[in-house]
Structure 1
């Protein structure tokens, strides 16, 4: 494979992208910094096919990234391969308002052919190629220039290895016939709605107990306020205030600005500074959350009661058994909150009861909830058995002597 020197010019980048545009797939990775900013700062883009690989410097003076971004977001003939690519896709979306498509994520794919739920890149390379990745440059400050040869080699290695691993994973998927299982997951990864930053929806990421409309309305208002404050200063939202602080403010709103000095997570200065004044104005204007925005009952954290909790535990046991039997990551089949909803009686709009998930796991999960499925131990191993089948098996020995005496 040909490894190019660090690409810092628009002409070299355009030439590279013109060649890569003829490929069936390209492996893509990015290096970025986001510790001190609201928006992640793109510092390096690595890209490869089966014949060549390069690292592109987006911080190079005057470089035009348009050919690269167009290749990633507009060229439907080239599959874009990532590993754990959510943050990479987010950065591309921030630049273009579009996401890479079609897309393939090797971390997600591993869930369909093994019980690995979030296999790391180093483990992926070692398991498929038998190569130990040098982690020496892992914590590089990628925004600093110049980059060393070791740093560039480390970064390019991410895509050269990935370009060799992807065909192997694809071959395994074709052999198992599980490729179709991943279509929905890959489309979710490429869905622009996952990366669209809507401050009015920021409150949904914050854990807050209860369903009080007044409290949730305040949480929505101050979460949106925090997003605008962080964006305006281009600093991480947690530097304005942590999630738990917002939840506390929503549940126990201060009556006057001086009370902010007593709020855990806020500095004393908030009692009389401008940001404290803006926060108090936001809290004062907050309206109760409308009925059509209230979180649904029966979702995550909804009380199941003792019996419901036991059923949910049985479903989790069933999931472990099925995951082990078919060698697939449990997380690909379903999530804990979905099993809790099934145990609570919810039947509509559950992925577990749709498509291939229903065939592989959902049907048995539903039968367990309805008392049609039971657990049994056979040869020292826990397995599932249908209640009707178990009754038939129990009846056979009792019938046998009568049949023999009749003879």
Structure 2
């Protein structure tokens, strides 16, 4: 593979993009900083196909990134390969208003080929190529210039190895017949709705025990206010107000701005500064949450009960057994919330009861909750055991294990 020098001009970038424009796939990675900002600061973009690799410096004044961005978001003939690419896709969405199409994430791909749920890039490279990466440059300040050779080599390695691993992974997915298992996950990763965050929905990310419409209405108003403040000031949400403080303000609203000076998590200056005034305005405008917007009760709540909780635990045990048998990450098959919903009696809108998930696990999960299978120990291993139901004399039935 030819590794090109660091690209720092529009002409060099256009020339590189011309080299890779007919590739079947390109591996993409980014380096960015966001510890002190709301919006991630893009510091480096790395791209490789099977024959060429380069790092592009987007911080150079006047560099035109459009040839590269066009390849990534508009050329649907090229598959874009990432590893744990959520934040990379977010950056591309922020730049273009679009997400890469089509897309493949090797972290998700690995979930279908092994039990690791969130395999790191270093472990992925080691397991597929037997190469141990130098992690020394991982926590570097990518915004500082000039970048040294070690930093650039480290960054380009993220895509050169990825470009070697992807064809190997694809071949194995085809051989095992598990490629289609990933379609839904890849569509979710590439869905623009996942990156176009609505301030009016940010309250749903904050944990709060109350289900009172007035409390949740205040939380909704406060979360939307904080989101806009964070975006306008380009500061992390927690640097404006932490989640727990928002939840406390929603549950115990101050009577006036002066009272903000006594709220835990806020400084005394909030009782008289402008941002404190805007917070009070948001609270004053808050309305009780509409009935149709009320969150569903947790399936671990009163509707599940002690027996339902035990059933959910049995489903988790069954999932562990099936994921071990299939050598696939349990989280790819089912989530805890779905197991608890099934234990609580729900049957609709549960992904594990559709498609391949139903085939490899959902059908057995239904058998378990409906009393058709149990557990047994055979040769020292915990396995499923089908239960035969036979009618007895008083028609109540008796269960006998295989």
- TM class, shorter-chain normalised? over 0.9
Q: Distance in 1 between matches of 2:300 and 2:277?
A: 34
- TM-fit CA distance, 1:301: 5.9
Question: Is 1:357 aligned with 2:362?
Answer: no
Q: Which residue of 2 aligns with 1:403?
A: none
Q: Which residue of 2 aligns with 1:332?
A: 332
Question: Is 1:45 aligned with 2:51?
Answer: no
| SS of alignment partner, residue 126 of structure 1 | helix
How many residues are treated as equivalent by the alignment? Answer: 395
Q: Distance in 2 between matches of 1:47 and 1:274?
A: 45
Q: Distance in 1 between matches of 2:12 and 2:35?
A: 31
Q: Which residue of 1 aligns with 2:101?
A: 101
Q: Deviations over 1:35-68 (max 9, x none)?
A: 1111101110000011110000000111000011
Map 1:157-196 onto structure 2 (within 5 A).
157-196=157-196
Q: Which residue of 2 aligns with 1:255?
A: 255
- TM-fit CA distance, 1:167: 0.8
- TM-fit CA distance, 1:197: 2.2
Structure with higher helix content? 1
| SS of alignment partner, residue 270 of structure 2 | helix
CA change 1:43–1:82 in 2 (3 A) is same
Q: Which residue of 2 aligns with 1:304?
A: 304
- TM-fit CA distance, 1:293: 1.2
Q: Distance in 1 between matches of 2:239 and 2:302?
A: 31
Q: Which residue of 2 aligns with 1:31?
A: 31
| SS of alignment partner, residue 68 of structure 2 | helix
CA change 1:191–1:324 in 2 (3 A) is same
8 Å CA contact retained: 2:300, 2:309: no
CA change 1:389–1:178 in 2 (3 A) is farther
- TM-fit CA distance, 1:218: 0.5
Q: Distance in 2 between matches of 1:127 and 1:54?
A: 24
Q: Distance in 2 between matches of 1:375 and 1:184?
A: 31
Map 1:87-166 onto structure 2 (within 5 A).
87-166=87-166
8 Å CA contact retained: 1:83, 1:121: yes
| SS of alignment partner, residue 387 of structure 1 | strand
Q: Deviations over 1:116-160 (max 9, x none)?
A: 100000000111111110111111111111100110000000000
8 Å CA contact retained: 1:27, 1:47: yes
Q: Distance in 2 between matches of 1:222 and 1:9?
A: 44
CA change 1:200–1:392 in 2 (3 A) is closer
- TM-fit CA distance, 1:253: 0.9
Q: Distance in 1 between matches of 2:383 and 2:210?
A: 39
Q: Distance in 2 between matches of 1:172 and 1:266?
A: 54
- TM-fit CA distance, 1:298: 4.3
8 Å CA contact retained: 1:298, 1:346: no
Q: Which residue of 2 aligns with 1:401?
A: none
TM-score (normalizing by structure 1): 0.94
Q: Deviations over 1:53-95 (max 9, x none)?
A: 0000000111000011110000010000000000000000000
- TM-fit CA distance, 1:198: 1.2
Q: Distance in 2 between matches of 1:266 and 1:192?
A: 35
| SS of alignment partner, residue 388 of structure 2 | helix
- TM-fit CA distance, 1:300: 6.9
- TM-fit CA distance, 1:259: 1.9
| SS of alignment partner, residue 388 of structure 1 | strand
| SS of alignment partner, residue 140 of structure 1 | coil
| SS of alignment partner, residue 46 of structure 1 | strand
- In the alignment, structure 1 segments of 5+ residues that lack a partner are 396-407
8 Å CA contact retained: 2:112, 2:178: yes
Map 1:179-258 onto structure 2 (within 5 A).
179-258=179-258
- TM-fit CA distance, 1:358: 0.7
Q: Distance in 1 between matches of 2:294 and 2:116?
A: 35
8 Å CA contact retained: 1:316, 1:336: yes
| SS of alignment partner, residue 44 of structure 1 | strand
8 Å CA contact retained: 2:385, 2:401: no
8 Å CA contact retained: 2:299, 2:344: no
8 Å CA contact retained: 2:32, 2:143: yes
Q: Deviations over 1:219-250 (max 9, x none)?
A: 11000000111111111111000111111111
| SS of alignment partner, residue 325 of structure 2 | helix
Q: Distance in 1 between matches of 2:147 and 2:107?
A: 28
Map 1:264-303 onto structure 2 (within 5 A).
264-299=264-299
- TM-fit CA distance, 1:366: 1.1
Q: Deviations over 1:166-206 (max 9, x none)?
A: 11111110111000000111010000000002111111111
Q: Which residue of 2 aligns with 1:398?
A: none
Q: Distance in 2 between matches of 1:210 and 1:273?
A: 29
